[in-house]
Amino acid sequence: MTNIGNMEVELIDSMGTDASVVNAARVSFGKRIKEMSEGDTKLIKYLAQHNHWSPFAHASLQFRIKAPVFVARQLVKHQVGLTWNEISRRYVDTDVEFYEVDKWRGKPIDKKQGSDGTLEDKHGICQWSKTKIENAALESYKGLLEQGVAPEQARMVLPQSMMTEWYWSGTLYAFARVCNLRCASDAQYETRIVANLINEECGKLFPISWTELRNT
């Protein structure tokens, strides 16, 4: 498991190797390999460059991820080739945790989204405002539960900075699409952290395929 701050990315399971991708491609000709060769490496490069994605879908990974709600809501938009199961506040009403900000960023002047450099938190006002809102939300949440309100309804007062946790399974190709978008410099910083940790794990398990998929 790798963590940055209180965000976590843990590889739970994986299936296949670079050779699995090659075998999925070569089965058309009734061929199968046991060890990678230079020709197999060239084949993987060709497949990635020409968008022959189906052989890469025969390799898969499963992650457990812990991140704030606002990050999860960006990543869940990636649906093709991926399966998502998340902790539910309909059933869990304890252990509420909030994202720990390591730096505040400024609003860009010339565009509507993104951020621009580090913002100095003068007198700790930004952190104070965040903590004040989170504490008030948590107290409201606990108060609603004490009044007998159903957790599925009481959860509506919890902010997007609340941490959530999910299992994310998918094909190698699908995670490459995620990382090609979310590891980019214009992706949100917090989302980029999660994507970069996924990127590292995929690169360890499928070094040849991952290099080519990330270069396309």
Active-site choice (89, 177, 182, 192)? 182
Asked about 105 being catalytic, the answer comes back as: no
CATH classification for the domain delimited by 2-87+164-215, as one of 3.30.1360.170, 3.30.70.260, 3.30.565.10, 2.40.128.110: 3.30.1360.170
* Helix and strand numbers, DSSP H then E, in the chain: 8, 7
Question: How far apart, in whole angstroms, are the C-alpha atoms of residue 191 and residue 99?
Answer: 12
The better pLDDT of the pair 119, 213 is held by: 213
Residue 203 has a pLDDT of: 98
Residue range(s) of every CATH 3.30.1360.170 domain in the chain: 2-87+164-215
- φ and ψ at residue 10, rounded to 5 degrees: -125, 125
- Alpha helix (H) residue ranges in 27-96: 38-49, 69-75
152-182 pLDDT tens trace? 999 999 999 999 999 999 999 999 999 999 9
Instruction: Spell out the residues 6+ positions from residue 57 whose beta carbon is closer than 8 angstroms to its own.
Output: 81, 171, 172, 173, 174
Amino acid at the residue 184: A
94-124 pLDDT tens trace? 889 999 998 898 888 888 788 878 888 888 9
- Using the predicted structure, report yes or no on whether residue 146 has a pLDDT greater than 80: yes
The pLDDT > 90 percentage for the chain reads 84
Across the chain, mean pLDDT equals: 95
- Using the predicted structure, report yes or no on whether residue 216 has a pLDDT greater than 80: no
